[in-house]
Structure 1
Amino acid sequence: MKDRISNEQITAKSKSRVGKAALWILLTVTASTAFFGALPMVFATQAPPKATSQPHAPVAQETLEAIENLNAEELVLLSELFETASRIDQLEAEMAVIQNDISALGGQIEEKQFQINESAKAYDAVRDTLGEILKSQQRAGAASNLEVVLNATSLKDLLRRLNLLRELSRKTDTLMQETQAARLRLEEEKAALSLLFAAQKAKEAELAETLRSLVEARTALESQLQALASDRAFYEANLKKLDQSWSAFKPVFTESVTALSEMLESGDVPTGTIELEFSPSGVQGRITDDKFNTALSSRQDLPELRFDFTKKGVLMTFVKEKAELQGYFEIVEERQLAFKVESGSFQGVSMSKAALEDLVSRGTLTFDLSGTLGKSTLRRITHEDGAIALTIDIKLF
């Protein structure tokens, strides 16, 4: 049966036991104590530099109250507008990347065309030179080459002269062939670049059409809001406030992720936040949401945050901002835990896929345990009601 014990109790009991079981527990406790003692320091974040805006920018209370007072129809319209606007932002970013690629490919095609023109000039120069040589030979007649041979002073000189004539002819042919081959190769490279250029232009056109459709959809949704004449100003104001609140929340999210990382990396968590269990099958670390939330509530550098652990996963809540992120922890690369966000809502509005991707790109949570696990690996993570449990395979050598 597993015994939940503190590090001091583990050391005391390990001294009192004998035989193989005592030796096994002593080795396990030694390795595990070192591992879990450093656990708070291995929480990492992949977040961009802090925004220049003031931390935790407040959201106007009237905005929150206005959103709460929206009826079902109004909330659906706002949700669709919010999702459409997020998708438009995402496609515009993709369009900018594609247009940069098109510009770069255009420059490469121009460079290839310049090289082709230079190669053609070189080919024409060789051809013209060869033509002049042939004209000179025609004017001199066959006697010219014969004279070169007959003027030989010896058999050795004769062979040398014949070899020179053959070498001149061979090199002239080779030069013509190489120049022609170089131009053909450049033309093939240009053709390949042109295909890429055409593909990017086609993708640009496809994105432009999608953007056009989304803009039309946004216009139609805005028209539906405007059709509610008596409440038009109210809806537009709330939509604007929702956008402003969302813009204000994004740096809050990034700064919160960074602060969480700094808190755990410094080990600044109350004793007992991590509970340990030991058994012959391995070592298990257990973190309850109550203790974790207690640790968060004592921080002045964090907004009001709450984590709820359930069998289905993890719910991360920004209380004042009314933002919720639903996801789960999973083991990646045997020594890391990553928080995977599956869905979310902001002030009662469901986050679209584009909005979630935008938010997660500003800061993701990852438990990187490789620095402390050594050769040990994470075998399993279990989501429980009120806690998460980690099973570790201890490898001392």
Structure 2
Amino acid sequence: MKSFFLIIVLLISIMTNLLTGQADPFSIVQEKLDGISVEEKKVLEQLFIVLQEIDLIESEGKRIAQEISEINVDVQKLEREIAIEEDEYKIKQNGLGQVLKSYQRMGPVSYIGIILESDSLSSLLRRINILRDLTRDTGEILEKIEESKNRLMESKNKLKDNIQLLEDRQKELDQALEKANRLKDDFEKFISNLGEEKEYYKDYLADMQIAWDEAKAMFSKTAENFSNIVRENSLSPEDLNLSFSIDGVRGSIKEDGINDIISKQADLEEMVIDFQQDIIKIELPKKNLILIGHFIIEGGHSLVFRAEEGSFYDMKLEPGSIEELFKENQLVLALKPLLGNNSTLKSVEIREDYLELMVKWSLF
């Protein structure tokens, strides 16, 4: 009876997709979640964790592959530079050879002998100038040869380091791909052990993956737009509630105030901030995404959100998945335009329903 019910749910889902065209993945996932048991959801959560790990390893593999590609470009560039430098090195060596041959044509006598053998003042001056030119040219060529040799050695050492780095990254890529393949095998075995219900879970996870990919892209854009609310004058100095105290300048940002600002921004995806004692909860209700963390001070003027845990449709997000959300954009409150150049943030404390700031103010 249970299997029959799951098949009916699957058929209804497929028919709904066909009739409505490109359905909202978040709605599909929510509808399916509403119709499963606690036990089934636990299984799905386990599978989703494995999918997150596979996704992260494959992303890491792409990053390493891109790094390998960039190192390869550097290696090829260095090889061309070395070839050019070697040609210049040979040219300078040949130049030195020509100068030394000029010495040889003048015979094995000493400089003083050459000068004393001059039969006239003009001959003396000419010989002195020739010797001066020869010695100057020899010194310059030797210096250039030494410089060329040093550049050549430096380029060769850099090339050697890059080749070693390339080999190390290739090993990392091979290990990442091997781990991803092992996880995929484990995932397939897990799915196979579910018996006749495996197609149902596969279908659900496919929708879950689509929704997760869209959530990551949307959150990145939301983070970018959130970070613009000060720049766009949505958050004003009055919203900081600045006041003087014994310890310095005290300020606060109220939960209701910042949520009111967020609600007026059409591009913030209905983001909701909940200040609780010592933690911040950030939620995107339509995406069923929740992140919990705190603000840290960066650069003396900015508050940067650091997520410590999170969930997607009440399913735990792995640390790597949380990092993926912030890969492109961070959630930042850059308060310098409001605080001015003569002040820096000393501390930030998260209280129930508000954020408390301590500001160090300098008159000079």
The reply to whether TM is greater than 0.5 is yes
Matched with 1:92 is: 62
Unaligned runs of at least 5 residues, structure 2? 1-22
1:194 aligns with 2:159: yes
Which structure 2 residues correspond to residues 214-233 of structure 1 after superposition, within 5 A?
214-228=179-193, 229-233=195-199
Query: 1:225 touches 1:235 (CA, 8 Å); kept in 2?
Result: no
1:381 aligns with 2:351: no
* AA of the residue aligned to 2:153: E
Q: Could you report, residue by residue, the CA deviation over 1:208-247 in whole angstroms, capped at 9, with x for unpaired residues? A: 2222222223322332244234233223222322221122
Query: Relative contact order, CA 8 A, sep 6+: which one is greater?
Result: 1
Query: 2:344 touches 2:359 (CA, 8 Å); kept in 1?
Result: yes
Matched with 1:256 is: 222
Matched with 2:286 is: 320
Matched with 1:210 is: 175
Q: Normalising to structure 2: TM-score of the pair?
A: 0.75
Which structure 2 residues correspond to residues 1-397 of structure 1 after superposition, within 5 A?
58-67=24-33, 69=36, 70-124=40-94, 126-127=96-97, 130-131=100-101, 134=104, 150=117, 152-153=119-120, 156-157=121-122, 159-160=124-125, 163-164=128-129, 166-167=131-132, 170-171=135-136, 173-174=138-139, 177-178=142-143, 180-228=145-193, 229-261=195-227, 279=245, 281-290=247-256, 292-293=258-259, 296-297=262-263, 300-374=266-340, 375-393=342-360, 395=362
Query: 1:59 touches 1:321 (CA, 8 Å); kept in 2?
Result: no
**For residues 278 and 125 of structure 1, what CA distance do their matches in structure 2 show?**
77
Q: Could you report, residue by residue, the CA deviation over 1:242-273 in whole angstroms, capped at 9, with x for unpaired residues? A: 22112211332234335545556556589x97
* AA of the residue aligned to 1:285: G
Q: Could you report, residue by residue, the CA deviation over 1:328-387 in whole angstroms, capped at 9, with x for unpaired residues? A: 123333333222222222223333333323321333222222223232443432212232
**For residues 151 and 274 of structure 1, what CA distance do their matches in structure 2 show?**
92
**For residues 249 and 117 of structure 1, what CA distance do their matches in structure 2 show?**
55
**For residues 98 and 58 of structure 1, what CA distance do their matches in structure 2 show?**
37
Alignment RMSD? 3.7
**For residues 352 and 305 of structure 2, what CA distance do their matches in structure 1 show?**
17
Of 244-253 and 376-385, deviating more is 376-385
**For residues 313 and 109 of structure 1, what CA distance do their matches in structure 2 show?**
53
Structure-2 change in CA distance of 1:269 and 1:188 (3 Å):
closer
State the 1:79 CA deviation. Answer: 0.6
**For residues 151 and 280 of structure 2, what CA distance do their matches in structure 1 show?**
57
Structure-2 change in CA distance of 1:58 and 1:124 (3 Å):
same
* AA of the residue aligned to 1:384: R
Structure-2 change in CA distance of 1:181 and 1:261 (3 Å):
closer
State the 1:324 CA deviation. Answer: 0.9
Query: 2:227 touches 2:334 (CA, 8 Å); kept in 1?
Result: no
Structure-2 change in CA distance of 1:293 and 1:373 (3 Å):
closer
**For residues 361 and 87 of structure 2, what CA distance do their matches in structure 1 show?**
67
Structure-2 change in CA distance of 1:132 and 1:273 (3 Å):
closer
Matched with 1:34 is: none
Query: 1:123 touches 1:179 (CA, 8 Å); kept in 2?
Result: no
- What SS is found at the alignment partner of 1:364? coil
State the 1:76 CA deviation. Answer: 1.4
Structure-2 change in CA distance of 1:275 and 1:148 (3 Å):
closer
**For residues 209 and 78 of structure 2, what CA distance do their matches in structure 1 show?**
41
Query: 1:330 touches 1:340 (CA, 8 Å); kept in 2?
Result: yes
- What SS is found at the alignment partner of 2:25? coil
**For residues 203 and 270 of structure 2, what CA distance do their matches in structure 1 show?**
27
* AA of the residue aligned to 2:355: I
State the 1:126 CA deviation. Answer: 4.4
Of 157-166 and 60-69, deviating more is 157-166
State the 1:299 CA deviation. Answer: 5.6
- What SS is found at the alignment partner of 1:71? helix
Structure-2 change in CA distance of 1:312 and 1:84 (3 Å):
farther
State the 1:124 CA deviation. Answer: 3.2
Query: 1:81 touches 1:221 (CA, 8 Å); kept in 2?
Result: no
Q: Could you report, residue by residue, the CA deviation over 1:70-102 in whole angstroms, capped at 9, with x for unpaired residues? A: 432332132122123123213312331332133
Structure-2 change in CA distance of 1:371 and 1:222 (3 Å):
same
State the 1:113 CA deviation. Answer: 1.8
* AA of the residue aligned to 1:211: A
* AA of the residue aligned to 1:387: Y
**For residues 342 and 328 of structure 1, what CA distance do their matches in structure 2 show?**
8
**For residues 346 and 99 of structure 2, what CA distance do their matches in structure 1 show?**
77
**For residues 103 and 393 of structure 1, what CA distance do their matches in structure 2 show?**
48
**For residues 114 and 270 of structure 2, what CA distance do their matches in structure 1 show?**
103
**For residues 268 and 147 of structure 1, what CA distance do their matches in structure 2 show?**
88
**For residues 294 and 148 of structure 1, what CA distance do their matches in structure 2 show?**
95
State the 1:323 CA deviation. Answer: 0.6
* AA of the residue aligned to 2:61: L
Aligned residues: 333
Share of identical aligned residues, percent? 17
Query: 1:109 touches 1:193 (CA, 8 Å); kept in 2?
Result: no
* AA of the residue aligned to 1:105: V
